[in-house]
Amino acid sequence: MLPRRRRARVGPPEAAPSSAARFPGVAIYLAEPRMGRSRRAFLTRLALSKGFRVLDAYSPEVTHVVMEGTSAEEAISWQEHRTPSLPPGCSHPALLDVSWFTESMAAGQPVPVEHRHRLEVAVPREELPSPVWMLPYACQRPTPLTHHNASLSEALETLAEAADFDGSKGRHVSFCRAASVLKALPSPVTALSQLQGLPHFGEHSRRVIQELLEHGVCEEVERVRLSERYQTMKLFTQIFGVGVRTADQWYQEGLRTLDDLREQPQRLTKQQKAGLQHYQDLSALILRSEVEALQQVVEAAVGQVLPGATVTLAGGFRRGKLQGHDVDFLITHPQEGLEAGLLPSVICCLEKQGLVLYHQHRRGQPGDPTHLAQKPHAMDAFEMSLCIFRLPRPPEAAVGGPREPCPPWKAVRVDLVVTPISQFPFALLGWTGSKHFERELRRFSRKERGLWLNSHGLFDSEQKMPFHVASEEDIFGLLGLEYLPPEQRNA
């Protein structure tokens, strides 16, 4: 039998025919010296998979030279040694840091070449933000609502949420702390070296960030987002009245959809039934304009029942959010004690207007809050009503399509919380959030000051005696912290 003839290889596997390229005006050459052969091959395959043209050899066709770990001086020297191979009059290709490549891969197309990408001058290396020093507690640093590293922090928060779904509190908190650090950075993270010296960045978080910087996506994060468990747990925990433990129990029993729950109404609490009934509305975002309309309605009802009482917006909207999924109002009165037992009358007033779809009233625990000193999550000691309100839509918004007319109202989640005036600053601080900011504030109080903080007060750990304050600023001052306004607490 004659031996089979091997097929001749047409060319190097890295090269792609120009006809297959989505961006014919871009021809990339990956310079190997600092990059390494295996990494160069990997990046080549990545670029080819996204429709980029990658040349295996340096030639006059090259428009973008990409280098990694190379200084501007080294890049210029590298180019000078190859200039003789270019025909006279041929322009030099752009010498670029690998950051241009990774950003282009993430965008799925060539991003504009900016000054910070270029290696022709020595400035870009200096422009790359150097590692910054950051205080370890989120309550020690300002964190704005809009920051520079949203895609990176969201990836870590996905892993934090998945860890919470799995009952791994330690991993959940670790990812939350790392994400919080990213939110507080003064500039975008474009290189892993910028994380050097930052608190709360363990090996796992660093690995996730490195993969995102290099490829635009993280395989682990995408795997989590697409997993049946994560999607199901996220679906169930978005139902009003359903926590992680209940959602996990349902998942273990094989439930996967809202229809699965609707088929078994006997297993749902009254609160969960209301949440499921109004799921579509409650999943939609509430706008700030709608929140302002709600506040006017609540203020009118509260004022009718108890003149002189005040209604204060808390939660994410107080931190500057323009939209959210629920609304928190704190109610108090300048004369301590008059606020007790207020909510049933307020709810009755709102029910007469047809505005209450559901409510669950919880009585407060009157008396000295000292017994709550070591209960950091003792918000339930306040009198409160967990409600679903019927919010009238504006006339122009109540016009639906021909097949599905839009109802003239929508259901919205509202929490009404009544607090004595002496505890109001602590309640306002606790109910403003963010959740991670409050967790860090309590941790700082306990670890660094030996004090216990919750939404009822600040207590000495030994004598259990509360501190008396008149404002949030006073609380920060007692803890020796610089005051952060609500819009800087988005940790």
Write out the binding residues for Mg(2+): 326, 328, 415
Residues 6+ apart with CB under 8 A from 30: 40, 43, 44, 54, 66, 101
Q: Alpha-carbon distance 383 to 421, whole Å?
A: 13
Would you list which residues are annotated within the binding site? 326, 328, 415
Residue identified by tokens 């474009």 is 190
Q: Where are the alpha helices (DSSP H) in 253-407?
A: 258-262, 270-277, 279-283, 288-305, 315-318, 343-352
Residues 6+ apart with CB under 8 A from 153: 147, 179, 180, 182, 183
Using DSSP bridges, classify how beta strands 409-418 and 27-30 pair: parallel, antiparallel or unpaired. Answer: unpaired
Q: What angle do the packed helices 288-305 and 343-352 form, to 10 degrees? A: 110
Q: Is 326 a catalytic residue?
A: yes
Q: Alpha-carbon distance 426 to 369, whole Å?
A: 12
337 is written with which tokens?
A: 């004690």
Question: Of the listed 56, 380, 415, 474, which one is catalytic?
Answer: 415
Count helices and strands in the chain by DSSP H and E runs: 19, 13
Q: Alpha-carbon distance 153 to 287, whole Å?
A: 24
- Residue from 471, 484, 399 nearest 438 by CA: 484
* 8-state DSSP, 395: T
Q: Alpha-carbon distance 383 to 427, whole Å?
A: 12
133 is written with which tokens?
A: 């020093």
Query: What is the DSSP secondary-structure string of 51-111?
Result: T-EE-SS--TT--EEEESS--HHHHHHHHHHHGGGSPTTPPPPEEEEHHHHHHHHHHTSPP
Q: Is 281 a catalytic residue?
A: no
- What are the catalytic residues? 326, 328, 415
